[in-house]
């Protein structure tokens, strides 16, 4: 073989190895979901589920001790629903399941966002956002393969993500509705 042929063959094999290496590294890597609360107004991406903020029930509030002024922030971390109203949004993937008359399983890729505010009225400021994302089968089968996230009031800073115990503890009781609370949906 000529030196030119060997060199061309070496370049071809190196190029193929590089391409295969990149493919192997990206194979199976899932796209990371990034949340930005400023997109919630984009009706091509999100559907607002409840027209008016929904007051979280006393039953949910009482799952953790009510916070005092001194311990409000730590209590909020234990119970992100304490003393708040929520506005719920769903992405296009989960829209049909959210509004179905009969309870449906949400498809993989569904995202539900709960915007938490402390009072109902004009100029409310979010306290935080909680998200549920339906992951691939087998991710977390005990709770319908949902992943939970808590995002700070700025709508971008992720405070926690994954199989969050306090989120799972509450949603576990809603197995019959794919682990989703639906009290904020208006009954017809």
pLDDT tens digits for range 140-186: 999 999 999 999 989 988 888 999 988 999 899 999 999 998 888 86
**Band of pLDDT at residue 139, cut at 50, 70 and 90:** very high
Kindly state the average pLDDT of the residues 24-53.
Answer: 74
Please report, for the chain, the start and end positions of each structural domain, with discontinuous segments joined by +.
1-30, 31-177
Return the biggest CA–CA distance within the chain.
83
- 32 DSSP assignment: P
Cβ-contact 159, 140 below 8 angstroms: no
Q: How far apart are CA 150 and CA 37, in angstroms?
A: 12
Q: What does the pLDDT read at residue 180?
A: 94
What stretches of 118-169 adopt beta strand conformation (E)?
126-134, 146-152, 158-162
Q: How far apart are CA 112 and CA 66, in angstroms?
A: 26
Q: How far apart are CA 29 and CA 131, in angstroms?
A: 21
Q: What does the pLDDT read at residue 82?
A: 56
Q: What separation, in Å, do the N-terminal and C-terminal C-alpha atoms of the chain show? A: 80
Kindly state the average pLDDT of the residues 29-56.
Answer: 82
Q: What is the pTM of this model?
A: 0.71
């Amino acid at each position: 073989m000529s030196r030119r042929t060997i060199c061309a063959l070496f370049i071809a094999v190196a190029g193929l190895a590089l391409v295969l290496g990149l493919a192997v590294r990206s194979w199976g890597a899932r796209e990371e979901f990034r949340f930005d609360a400023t997109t919630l107004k984009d009706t091509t991406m999100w559907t607002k589920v409840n027209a008016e903020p929904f007051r979280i029930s006393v039953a949910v509030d009482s799952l953790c001790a009510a916070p005092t002024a001194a311990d409000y922030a730590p209590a909020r971390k234990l119970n992100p629903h304490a003393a708040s109203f929520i506005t719920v949004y769903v992405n296009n993937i989960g829209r049909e399941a959210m509004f179905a008359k009969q309870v449906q399983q949400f498809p993989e890729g569904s995202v539900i966002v709960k915007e938490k505010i402390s009072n109902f009225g004009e100029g409310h400021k979010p306290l935080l956002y909680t998200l549920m994302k339906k992951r691939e089968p087998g991710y977390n089968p005990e709770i319908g393969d949902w992943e939970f996230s808590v995002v700070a009031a700025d709508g971008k800073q992720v405070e926690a993500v994954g199989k969050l115990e306090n989120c799972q503890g509450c949603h576990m009781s809603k197995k019959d509705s794919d682990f989703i609370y639906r009290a904020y949906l208006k009954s017809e």
